[in-house]
Structure 1
């Protein structure tokens, strides 16, 4: 079973459930924002921690974030494969001893490119991708990976886009899970509103190719590591 941790009602799992189900696995979405309970880790093949409008330091306003951090710590201790997306990646960095700037000078919005370094190009999460790929960004905060992490990618605006801890815990700053409905929703949230959808739709084919490859790679490597 794969577990999807949803931190914000406006930040759903997008394409993740479809891709996981296509690989033959059950999916459980935990609405952390609604204080839904976390599953027992013995039942879990992999975990994806999704994004959110809040920051990692806003525990007083969003007390459930402490429960998410605790679940992530237990997953790291048990070496459960984990992928943290945007806020999820920032939480992973924080839990493992890195830092999160809030607000950050490295914020990004809309379709952008991420550049893999040599380690990223050789990492199984990015297998089959070119050294530079198109993705979607929407973040005001950014992480600095913990010292023992391997930096895998960057962008012109943001020096840390992806990192790996151990064999199978990953944090990414970008959003491989989004679809047009999510992007349209996010463009309507700020004041003033943003036209995020036009650029996304113009690049949707290349975005989908890279993003689905990344998510499928994570499912595959998690399944391989957790196979009895």
Structure 2
């Protein structure tokens, strides 16, 4: 079973869900912000840790983050495939000994291009993904590649966009899971209201091609890893 860890009620799984549906693998979502109990990571095929408006260090106001960090640590020890997205990638970096800057000089908002390095271009997570590729960003914080990790991608504004840890474990700074309703809702979080949706719609075909490939690749990689 795949487990989707949702850290924020406004940061759902979006486009990940139809890909899991089409894969045929069972899955469920866990609302970490609502204090739902975590399963044993050894029982899982793969884990996706989603984003959130809060930061890694905001544990006083969002104590569930401590439980998420403990769960990520347990997943790493169990060798369970894991993909951390935005805050999820920052939590993964932090749990593995990396540094998360908050606020960061590397903030990005809206549609952006991301460049794969030579290692990233050859990594199975990015199979079928061009470089540069179009993605969506909404982050004030940023991570470093943790010790033992490998940098896979960067952008003009943010030097660490994706990394891999030993096994099938990845952290990404960007949001491959978003769709129109999510971006529209996020626009409403700003005062005055932002308009990242129009840029998203204009780049939607390119965004979907790259993002769906990345998410589908992770699903396939995780399922294969658990069979080996």
When normalised by structure 1's length, the TM-score is 0.98
1:164 is paired with a residue whose SS is: strand
1:8 is paired with a residue whose SS is: coil
Residue 40 of structure 1 and its aligned partner are, at CA, apart by 2.2
Of stretches 176-185 and 13-22 in structure 1, the one that deviates more from structure 2 is 13-22
Question: Unaligned 5+ residue runs, structure 1?
Answer: none
Report the aligned-residue RMSD.
0.8
Q: Which residue of 2 aligns with 1:14?
A: 14
Q: Which residue of 2 aligns with 1:133?
A: 133
Q: Which residue of 2 aligns with 1:106?
A: 106
2:181 is paired with a residue whose SS is: helix
Residue 199 of structure 1 and its aligned partner are, at CA, apart by 0.2
Q: Which residue of 1 aligns with 2:164?
A: 164
Residue 24 of structure 1 and its aligned partner are, at CA, apart by 0.8
Residue 46 of structure 1 and its aligned partner are, at CA, apart by 0.3
Q: Which residue of 2 aligns with 1:79?
A: 79
Contact 2:119 2:152 in 1 (8 A): yes
Residue 43 of structure 1 and its aligned partner are, at CA, apart by 2.4
Q: Which residue of 2 aligns with 1:221?
A: 221
When normalised by structure 2's length, the TM-score is 0.98
Q: Which residue of 2 aligns with 1:63?
A: 63
Question: Unaligned 5+ residue runs, structure 2?
Answer: none
Residue 192 of structure 1 and its aligned partner are, at CA, apart by 2.3
Q: Which residue of 2 aligns with 1:148?
A: 148
1:209 paired to 2:188: no
Distance in 1 of aligned mates of 2:208 and 2:165:
26
Query: Aligned residues, how many?
Result: 228
Distance in 2 of aligned mates of 1:170 and 1:40:
19
Contact 2:42 2:78 in 1 (8 A): no
Residue 27 of structure 1 and its aligned partner are, at CA, apart by 1.1
